[in-house]
Structure formats: C-alpha cells, structure tokens
Amino acid sequence: MEKVIKVIFSISFIFYLLALVMLLFVGVMFVGIRGHIWTDLSLIEYLRSSSNFVPFKTISTYITAMFDGSLNISIPIKNLFGNLIMFLPMGIYLPYYIKKINKVGGFTFSMIILLFVIEVTQLVTRRGSFDIDDFILNMVGALIGFGIWKTKIVQRLLK
C-alpha cells in the first residue's frame, strides 16, 4: 500500500509540474496577456512597462476593484486566489521530496529562490512579467501548503 501511495504521489507531482509550466509560461500566450508587440521592446523597456516592484500595489488594486465594482469580480478573484492556490501544492511536494527543507526556514529560503527564478524567467522569456505581488501571493500559498504538510493528519497518513 505504501508503494502505491508513493507512485500516486509521484504521478500527481508530475501532473502538477506540467500544469504549473502551462500556467506560468505557455498559458500566458493563450490568454493574450503578452503578444507580439512586446518583442519590439528592449528587455529594459519591457521590464519597465510590465513589472511591478511595489509590494501590495496589484493586491490593493484588486481588492479595491472587488468592492467598488470597477472590474468584473472574476478578474480579481482569479488573480488573487489563483496566485495563492497555484503554489499551495509546492508546500506539500517540496518537503516530501527534499527532506532537508522540512523546517520552515529551509522551506521559505528554497521557495524564495524558486519563485525568484520563475519571476525572472517569465520576464526574460517575455512569457509574463515580474510582479512582487505575485511573488507574495505565491509565497503565502506555498507556506499554507507547508502548514498543511506539517499537520499531524498528513504526517500520520504518510506513515
């Protein structure tokens, strides 16, 4: 039974990684957020026009829009909760596969590096933008996942 659980967990991790790559790098093209007009800009111009380095700027804009009705409610909900939920599974998978990051400090450091690499890769490949608010929401989601991972129920299930 233990082997079956490990195989199912591994297969689900592979599907999660594929879905993550699709959402972060491929899906952007289908949504039309970044089009061919961005390729005419230099990397510096692209960085300036598509990045947000001000913490909580996008988050507060979406929260305000939810209450004042200036945006369709589905847009802020998808962006806020989507970014939160997107990395929640990483909080479970990462400490499962990498035993050295089973403590909150090691996990947090690893996630900061991973998320920074993803944000910069999106920027350099022009498959998205660098948004510190995405970084914050992804990190919070991963920490929630890590909190779930550390619960006695989950630990008992794995043993």
Residue 13: which H helix or E strand, with range?
helix 2-21
Q: Which one, of 7, 15, 3, 16, lies nearest residue 91 by Cα?
A: 16
Q: Which one, of 147, 144, 3, lies nearest residue 81 by Cα?
A: 144
pLDDT for residue 151 is more than 70: yes
State whether residue 131 is helix, strand or coil: strand
Question: Does residue 53 or residue 27 have the better pLDDT?
Answer: 53
Measured CA distances, 21 to 18, 28, 87, 119, 150 (Å)? 5, 10, 12, 12, 26
State whether residue 133 is helix, strand or coil: helix
Measured CA distances, 44 to 33, 34, 39, 132, 134 (Å)? 18, 16, 12, 17, 20
Cβ-based burial of 128 (10 A; exposed 0-12, middle 13-18, buried ≥19): buried
Mean pLDDT of the chain: 87
pLDDT digits (tens, 9 = 90+) for 123-141: 888 888 889 999 999 999 9
pLDDT digits (tens, 9 = 90+) for 17-37: 999 999 888 865 444 444 444
What is the separation of C-alpha 128 from the centre of its chain, rounded to a whole number of angstroms?
Answer: 12
pLDDT for residue 150 is more than 90: yes
Mean of the pLDDT values across residues 155-159? 74
Q: Which one, of 157, 116, 133, lies nearest residue 55 by Cα?
A: 133
pLDDT of residue 144: 98
Residue located via tokens 């909760």: 81
Residue 39 confidence class, pLDDT cut points 50, 70, 90:
low
pLDDT of residue 126: 81
Are 119 and 47 in contact, with CB atoms under 8 Å apart? Answer: no
pLDDT digits (tens, 9 = 90+) for 63-120: 999 899 888 888 899 999 999 999 999 999 999 999 999 899 999 999 999 999 998 8
